[in-house]
A and B are shown apart, each in its own frame.
Chain A
Amino acid sequence: MQDNSTYKISSEVSSKINKWLLKFPDGKKKPAIIYALHLIQKENKYIKSIHVDALANFLNLKNIDVYEIAAFYSMFELEKIGKHTISVCTNVSCMLNGSDEILSYLESKLKIKVGRSSDKYFLKDERECLAACCGAPMMQVDHKYYENLTKEKIDKIITEIENE
């Protein structure tokens, strides 16, 4: 997370954060951290220390308040990752329906190990169940659900991304 440049929260993001703050009692700023980090991550793909500093500054909080959140919640990426995030659920219902083969297939197809990233794809080491157990095996690509996966389906999904 090291970077000497500075970062300025865009006016679009800052107005969204300000609107979000209206949901909470007057003067409470912390409740906007998670939402704001999502917005920043969306713009920048992953969270750098300059983002944390800028957000803390914007919300008038200590850097550690923001950093803690970025580190605690698994959806925030603190290292450089590729353009698309793929999370294959390997929790129990998915495992019973062949999620491990799906994951291996993706590993060899994308030529990356789980937990690693290429410029184009980040194959997240997902430990949680993603609440689509009745459509097992399943995965999320940039948080969009794909259920009842087969190798053929994966080929199709990846081809679609490649042709974007």
Chain B
Amino acid sequence: MNNNIRVNELCYSTLSSKNPNSFDTYVSLGGYSTWKNIVTTSYDRKEIIETILKSGLRGRGGAGFPTGRKWSFINQDSEDIKYLVCNADESEPGTCKDRDILRYNPHALIEGMLIASYAIGANTAYCYLRGEFMDDVYSSFKKALADAYENKLIGNNILKTNINIELHDLIGAGAYIVGEETAMLESIEGKKGFPRFKPPFPAVKGLFGSPTIINNVETLASVPKIMENGPEWFKSAGTKDSPGFKCFSVSGHVNKPGNYEIPLGTPFKKLLELAGGMKDGKKIKAVIPGGSSVPVVPGKVMLETNMDYESITQAGSLLGSGAVIIMDEDTNMVEVIHRIARFYYSESCGQCTPCREGTGWMFKIIDKILNGKANLEDIKTLESIPSMISGSTICALGDAAAMPVESFIKHYKNEFLRYINHENQNKEKIFSSNNNNEFVLQKK
């Protein structure tokens, strides 16, 4: 079935080994050879950035910004202190790909962080893990970090080359917004996770006021193999505009939910097949293709779409973090958007009025709809809110909250209307499911 599809060749390449996360496994598969080569040959920094640029690697955290270009914004030759930050806050709903890299291939991330630090001229790198990872995920990463230190691949005078790079683990304490890169910088500095105004961009003024590059776990874990095998190898997978491999977290109504690392441009149909097809032989109704922050796409459109940045944009959504949430024909779309709206309402940091108020209004109206208490006017109001939020906020959480609502109404308006017309045969379900969703504000 999947003989013609390349699976788990990059960030998940250790998965088929017995002890995927051990230092020995990683080294036996050629790991750290690139890093050793770089430090012992005083490799040209510009050449590293050039290679990453040529590979076409794009940020895997959600925004898809070309990684080589981001790195080139740093003035490598300046004497200023510079920082690299790895975003391991993984908290976009539907996304669980980074957790598996941290648990099963932490050395690829460490080597990627070292190469990136070297390329931008940073002597200090931080890996910020979300607080909820504090048990096994954090342990796996910390163990790997300790092993890399012990083997003199990090720290002072790396492999006796006079190169010094410290790599520190950090832990958060629960806040979706800290995944936003400037909020993460605030959090590392020991403050509330309030996103900063941009500009200045972090590459100019970032952590502790110094130039900083922030990249996602998967982005950084992709770097060693691209350096080792060359940009052409990376580009042998994927499409012209979306080269390489990408991890997709497939969840929802499928038989084999899981993380699948496949070439970009793979037909969605194939990915669905990899994930064991639809549960209970049901029909597909809808897909959220890139985490809860992106617009929903009707199932029949998705079945004709390929999994790359351009195709998914054409289908009316975004590839985002690569979290593919699949819903079957029985899914109540109002319940789904209710849950999503509740999330953004709880997580808005409250700095910008349109986001703070808008996420609240959207949730309250959807809640009213779900309770069978809304009228047509309410739906009209709901429809008007997203455009008031989009584009007028400090960070992208505002858009992330607005886009899904807009798309759910666009594609499934009849389901909203059914609640208004009190024609829903499933009323009991509506009310009972709502018991758990009491309108309680969490501490902010």
Contacts and interface: CB of A to CB of B under 8 A. Distances in A.
A91 B93 contact: yes
Interface in A26-42: 28-35, 37-38
A53 interface: no
B251 A134 contact: yes
Interface stretch (B52-60, B169-177, B390-398): B169-177
Contacts of B433: 100
Contact of B94 (A93, A100, A114, A143): A93
Interface string A102-129: 0110000000001100000000010111
A128 B176 contact: yes
Task: Categorize the interface residue count of chain B.
Answer: 35 or more
B380 interface: no
A63 to B, nearest CB: 14
A122 B331 CA distance: 31
Contact of A31 (B81, B96, B190): B190
Interface string A1-36: 000000000000000000000010100111111110
Contacts of B346: 127-128
Interface string B161-201: 00000101011111110000000000111111100000000
Interface string B337-378: 001101100110000000000000000000000000000000
**Chain B interface helix/strand/loop/mixed:** mixed
Contact of B259 (A30, A87, A114, A134): A134
Given A90-B339, A131-B99, A131-B130, A96 B331 contact: yes
A49 interface: no
A160 B195 CA distance: 42
A74 B174 CA distance: 5
B98 interface: yes
Contact of B189 (A30, A78, A92): A30
Given A91-B93, A133-B251, A145 B343 contact: no
A149 interface: no
B90 interface: yes
A124 to B, nearest CB: 10
A78 B443 CA distance: 10
Given A69-B190, A133-B257, A92 B347 contact: no
A140 interface: yes
Contact of B93 (A65, A92, A97, A135): A92
B203 interface: no
A34 B172 contact: yes
Interface string A57-88: 00000000100110111111010000000010
B208 A25 contact: yes
A71 B443 contact: yes
A136 interface: yes
Contacts of A50: none
B288 A92 contact: yes
A23 B168 CA distance: 7
Interface string B419-444: 00000000000000100100010111
Interface in B107-131: 126, 130-131
A73 B95 contact: no
Contact of A30 (B134, B136, B191): B191
B174 A128 contact: yes
Interface residues of A, number: 51
B335 interface: yes
A96 B440 contact: no
Contact of B96 (A25, A29, A132): A132
Contacts of A125: 440, 442
B94 A95 contact: no
Contact of B335 (A30, A71, A72, A95): A95
Given A35-B171, A76-B173, A91-B339, A130 B132 contact: yes
B76 interface: no
Contacts of A97: 251-253
Contacts of A74: 173-175, 442-443
Contacts of B347: 127-128
B202 to A, nearest CB: 17
Contacts of A30: 189-191
Contacts of B174: 73-76, 128
A130 B94 CA distance: 9
Given A34-B171, A75-B174, A136 B257 contact: yes
Contacts of A72: 175, 192-193, 444
B343 A96 contact: no
Interface string B58-88: 0000000000000000000000010000000
B135 A143 contact: yes
Nearest to A96: B252
Nearest to B253: A96
B388 interface: no
Contacts of B94: 91-93, 129, 133
Contacts of B249: 133-134
A131 B343 contact: no
Contacts of B342: 127
4 closest A-B pairs (Cβ-Cβ)?
Answer: A30-B190, A73-B173, A75-B174, A74-B174
18 contacts: A33-B190, A38-B131, A69-B190, A69-B192, A71-B443, A73-B174, A92-B339, A93-B252, A95-B335, A95-B339, A97-B251, A104-B436, A128-B343, A129-B292, A130-B132, A131-B130, A133-B249, A134-B251
Interface of A: 23, 25, 28-35, 37-38, 65, 68-69, 71-76, 78, 87, 90-93, 95-97, 100, 103-104, 114-115, 125, 127-136, 140, 142-145
